Chains A and B, each alone.
Chain A
């Protein structure tokens, strides 16, 4: 029960973030409980000069794969700038591409994101773009050479669950690269649902970091992801719109 991004194998279906925790210690224990293997972090939060950064040593100790993100970038040009800094500083060419010129709802700019994805793929990055749940945009990003797509379930940090469910279904059906549902997942049941739908993974930060007990919540998400992925693998029974009549209307055909 594994999946791959750019040839790299992951068994955990849960990607996590590093922001919003009470302390580096709570973050460490939460990430440990989540069993996550791929963790995103904003380069703008990392202080590489002062060497007083609390987050990086924790991630290194956990042995998780780093997924630096371009949060703060508002244009393709800025995203490329941050990506190159991240590659240099963190020694990884993996990148979560996020460009949100709107600082209030942090919604991704589809035009700049596609532009940046093309530039970054050409520069040898493994690009995982955060994007709107737009099936055509996801195909375009795939064609641009992105290693996965990360459509949003709901506005980031909103904990509203899969508000874009119908579009996510289309994206998952059409995609040739892993689909990772990012943003808006507020409860383990939302994560399970995304994986039941056939998403390869989910990214969860706020719902874990802001929980009253982040460590317990991290474990809850781990279990939900396992359940959702297993359910998808097992093949869910089709949900019926109506009850199935025990004496179907076509019963007369039997007597003909």
Chain B
């Protein structure tokens, strides 16, 4: 235990890096993995379900809130307090972030994937036209996106280490960096050294969602490929912190496991990371299951609609409660809401606590510059063009922010 780099907060980043370099792959259980193993899910479930109005009131009255307060705020008992939560969440958001709202857009590099996941249109067993953008195509996409005003881009790919791996990213990043000041990556988890290397090529942030913190549920939905390795994925944010990556994006796929329990473990994960990797900033996303070709998502969603409300399914109202609870738990955390959600929902919820949104998103490779569409990863809901989204946000009193970074920052 004592020789584990990740759990020893006294180890400096430089030492952590050099120890990392000595060990190419960190295969031993991660620091957070050990913390997670000590958690008693039954305890947390009870804590959430037995929270009462008094616990919610206590949580609302505090100025800094802990995990117990967070449990109360996401509990069924907090539902009647939603208006109060929203008011406080909005105040905290304005105090920290003002009226600024960051805009970003996803750029799909490839839909190749060596995994089978029940909820994703890119799954390898799905028969679809596979495509990986060439560097020339990447450049065309960049030009098309840049013309819309974006300065922050999220590069997305399925998980295919051989064809869309480190070497490909090293070629793509310098091209993308010519157009965008801030570049985020959402691909398969990489090693700490690979992340450190990609920083030199222009990488600023990485989004890696655990999908669910419930190992059994995770195994049910990740059926083939490297993504089956729960622990490798779980330790990814720690490897990002060790590599000194500026922004680390976390999230759970809401609707897969018990969303309340997953949120508790996400909060625990966030606090662990903040204590160990305090130089990185963190963002939280709220992806809900969306229908996709060949996916189980539709079946799951249908089940949710037909049955009594399950612990998995999260309603619009509950999602608002969850977003507000996150803001009350962490006033400094960046909160992100994508085009998975509808225009109406986004227009109403973003002004409460959200600090970054995507707009005008297309979820298939080459979709911005070329007409021909390959199959999308999931169907988006808010399909308004970016100018319309921006106008809508301005009407709500928010100022769209396109550029918030210098390309040379955080390289060393």
Contacts and interface: CB of A to CB of B under 8 A. Distances in A.
B280 A21 contact: no
A60 interface: no
A101 B99 contact: no
Interface in B366-412: 394, 397-399, 401-406, 408-410, 412
A43 interface: yes
B44 interface: no
Contacts of A85: 406, 408
Given A20-B98, A21-B99, A210-B98, A104 B274 contact: yes
A6 B281 CA distance: 36
Contacts of A20: 94, 97-100
A72 B398 contact: no
Interface in A170-218: 206, 209-210
B130 interface: no
Contacts of A209: 98-99
A42 B404 CA distance: 8
B195 to A, nearest CB: 17
B96 interface: yes
A210 B94 contact: yes
B279 interface: yes
Given A102-B278, A157-B95, A22 B332 contact: no
A157 B399 CA distance: 18
Interface stretch (A45-53, A128-136, A138-146, A231-239): A45-53
Given A52-B149, A73-B409, A47 B94 contact: no
Nearest to A158: B95
A187 B371 CA distance: 55
Contacts, number: 87
B96 A157 contact: yes
Main secondary structure of the interface of A (DSSP, over half): loop
Contacts of B412: 75, 77-78
A21 B98 CA distance: 6
A3 interface: no
Interface centre among A19, A73, A82 (most CB of B within 10 A): A19
Nearest to A81: B408
B407 to A, nearest CB: 10
B188 interface: no
Contact of B404 (A45, A105, A158): A45
Given A44-B406, A72-B405, A73-B409, A206 B95 contact: yes
B186 to A, nearest CB: 20
B151 interface: yes
A74 interface: yes
Contact of A47 (B332, B403, B409): B403
A187 to B, nearest CB: 13
Given A22-B397, A45-B404, A82 B409 contact: yes
Nearest to B408: A81
A104 B278 contact: yes
Nearest to B402: A47
Nearest to A157: B96
B404 A22 contact: no
B99 A50 contact: no
Interface in A1-25: 19-24
B237 to A, nearest CB: 15
7 contacts: A24-B399, A42-B404, A50-B149, A81-B408, A103-B246, A210-B95, A210-B98
Interface of B: 94-100, 149, 151, 181, 246, 274, 278-281, 332, 394, 397-399, 401-406, 408-410, 412
Given A72-B409, A81-B408, 4 more contacts: A19-B98, A24-B399, A78-B409, A210-B99
